[in-house]
Amino acid sequence: MTYASRTNHLEPEGAYQVLARANQLEAAGQEIIHLEIGQPDYSTFENVAQAGIDAIRAGHTRYTPPVGMPSLREAIAEDSGRRRGIRIAADEVVVSPGGKPNLFFPTLALVEAGDEVIYPDPGFPTYEAMIGVAGGRPMAVPLLEENNFSFDLEAFDRLISERTKLIILNSPGNPTGGVIPRTDLEHIARQAQKFNAWVMSDEIYARLVYEDAEFNSIASVPGMQERTIIVDSFSKTYSMTGWRLGYGIMPRELAAKVDLLLTHSVGSTAHFTQFAGLEAITGPQDQVKVMVADYQNRRDVIVDGLNAIPGFLCQKPQGAFYAFPNIKGTGMKSGELADLILEKAGVALLPGSSFGRHGEGYLRLSYANSIENIRKGLERIKSVLKGSGR
């Protein structure tokens, strides 16, 4: 059999692979602490789940327009615009089953074979996957630990050119928890304008920012909204990963192209899921605040605990729910160390190398888990490393 070459570069997401191995160990009787998957441990908020159930009972189980129900698009335009200090029209909003299709389809609509696409490394693996499927050339910009994992702007300046079609940003970032400061966004914006490049700003962790940092969208830099695709999702903010609901905000001509791609691929997002989403953004927001405060406590516990492990050095992440310790002091490769910790300590986490070349020398731990489990996991890691003579 031969297969089309556009899938040759695709690889599984590290998180699913580690989860599969962790499940095997669990099935064999080992107790595993799960710090590998980027998924809130909270249930979907009660009012939101109820709105979904009510929608099913009311018969909202039909196709909707591929780009989403008008009422949801209007609510998203208002909510997202207000939070970012910009004006968004409902026809610039494209609803999708999770945020991922709004990463993939605008990329397919914009990138021609051979076009260069700049993206963060370490970064969310879907970026490299979708650039490759579109036939683009992936151009990785390192994220610097000493710069709170914001872009290495000098490397960025060296990479950007007339050949750059698209620049992908992710702030707060997966896997580092880094937040790109406004001054860096302004620099990137100036370059995007100079070289006439589009920007895709993955802002799915925008609401998960801690008190010592501030979220800014590059779309709020003057002149940028017309060349920016904002990608956001209900998955993390409202603990709705399995409902599959996300959206993109983009100029309406591009939205019309993405509408066609959705029409001929997924058709539409689940009808009742969209009603749940409507309740999520128009209903009370206090549960989001409680969740963010909780994550911040967990972050402080995990960062202190990681810094107490010999050979580990962990920055305080400013957003999302990932810690990204530098483990170069252990003398081990990140894949080797992640395997050792899973097999011997029963703690599932990810090697930084599954997020790109520049992730080598780091681990990613998701702290979307209870403080009790986080403490237990840290203790186990510490004792395994002592036992291994490191």
Closest residue to ligand PLP, judged by C-beta, is: 98
Q: Which of 80, 107, 235, 315 binds ligand PLP (CB under 6 A)?
A: 235
- 70-84 and 271-282 helices cross at what angle (nearest 10)? 40
Closest contact distance (angstroms) between CB of 170 and ligand PLP is: 5
Which residues have C-beta within 8 Å of that of residue 218, sequence separation ≥ 6? 169, 185, 188, 189, 199, 201, 224, 228
First to last CA, the chain: 48
Give me the least distance between CB of 206 and ligand PLP, in Å please: 11
Residues 195-224: x where in contact with ligand PLP by CB under 6 A, - otherwise, as a string = -------x-x--------------------
174 binds ligand PLP (CB under 6 A): yes
170 binds ligand PLP (CB under 6 A): yes
Binding residues for ligand PLP restricted to 97-126, rule: CB under 6 A: 98-100, 124
Strand ranges, E, within 238-385? 246-249, 322-323, 347-348, 350-351, 363-366
Q: CB–CB of 203/7 below 8 Å?
A: no
CB proximity list for 221: less than 8 A, separation 6 or greater: 185, 186, 189
Residues 64-103, one symbol each (x = binds ligand PLP by CB under 6 A, - = not), give ----------------------------------xxx---
* Cβ proximity to ligand PLP, 84 vs 364, nearer residue: 364
Note whether 164 binds ligand PLP by CB under 6 A: no
Question: Of the two residues 38 and 346, which places its CB atom closer to ligand PLP in the complex?
Answer: 38
- Amino acid code (one letter) for 58: A
Facing residues of 117 across strands? Answer: 138, 166
> Is residue 18 helix, strand or coil?
helix
User: Which residue, 246 or 277, has its beta carbon nearer to ligand PLP?
Assistant: 246
**Which lies closer to ligand PLP via its Cβ, residue 98 or residue 351?**
98
**CA-to-CA distance for 352 and 314, rounded, in angstroms?**
13
**Binding site residues, ligand PLP, CB under 6 A:** 38, 98-100, 124, 170, 174, 202, 204, 233, 235, 241, 246
